[in-house]
Structures are given as C-alpha cells and as structure tokens.
Amino acid sequence: MRPVVKTFLVLTGDLKLQSGRDRLEGYKKAMVKGGFKVREELILQGDYTSSTARELTAEALKKKIKFDGIFAANDLSAISAIEVLQENGFNIPKEIKIVGFDDSPIASSSSPSITTIRQPIRELGAEVALSLLAILDGEGVADKLLDVELIVRESTTAK
C-alpha cells in the first residue's frame, strides 16, 4: 500500500491570472473529492517564479509548518521547492512528495523527475482559436473543460 500524503502545502500561481485561480480551484475541488480538508493556512500565494517558490518553501520550513506533500502550480515552482527541501536535508519523495503542473521539459529532466499534471496544449490552442473565430463572427462561446493527465514520476514514488 502506498503511503498517503496527509498534509499538502500549496504554492499557488499568480492569482491575478486566470490560470493561477483555476489551478487553485482545481486543487481545492480535488482535495474535497478525495475526502481531505482544505487548510487555507497551507495555501501560500506564489507567482509561478523560482525565486518566490524558494522563498515560500524556506519560510514554511522556518515557521516549522508540518506537511508531507507540496502541490506547486507549475513545474518550475516544484523544482525550486525540491531544491530548498534537499538543501535542508529532506528526502524527496520519502519524506515529502511533490507534484507540479504543466509537464514542461524540465519536469522529466530534473532530479528527481517531477510528478506533474499535463494539459492538452494542442487541444487547448485549437479551442482558443475556434473561440476567437466565433467571437469575430459575432457568435457566443461557451466555457469548455479539457481533461488533464497525471504524469507520475520520481518526486512522488520511490525509485
């Protein structure tokens, strides 16, 4: 049986951007659906940058916040969190599991490689283009949700 992460620290994206708000909302919905409580005090406002992710992770450690998992709103933030945790003697994924978002090329080439959420980028681009064309033709457009995929890598599973 796999060990279950009980306490997630969240490094959000820029909440001024729709993508940041959407990813945070998706996290909250997944937690509730999984039977977990969303703890607002563990949601740290980031901005998708490496420097902010490093600062937030270091501050959480300094405050002795207890967590055994991190959800980062992008892969760059996930990698930065891993670096800070490793610099402080934590074993990833044995002690803390990390999940990023985007499945960017750095996710598969980092050490450990990052478990991440992959978006259907081509389909997303096509839907945006179709929506723009419809708007230019004076037509209305509806919201559309696209499926994402969890790509499991070393940051959540032992080698």
Q: Using omega within 30 degrees of 0 as the cis cutoff, is the peptide bond preceding 112 cis?
A: yes
Cβ–Cβ under 8 Å, residues 150 and 117: yes
Strand boundaries in 46-123, DSSP class E: 69-72, 97-101, 115-118
pLDDT digits (tens, 9 = 90+) for 97-151: 999 999 999 999 999 999 999 986 677 677 778 778 878 888 888 877 778 888 9
Burial of 83 (C-beta count, 10 Å sphere; 0-12/13-18/19+): middle
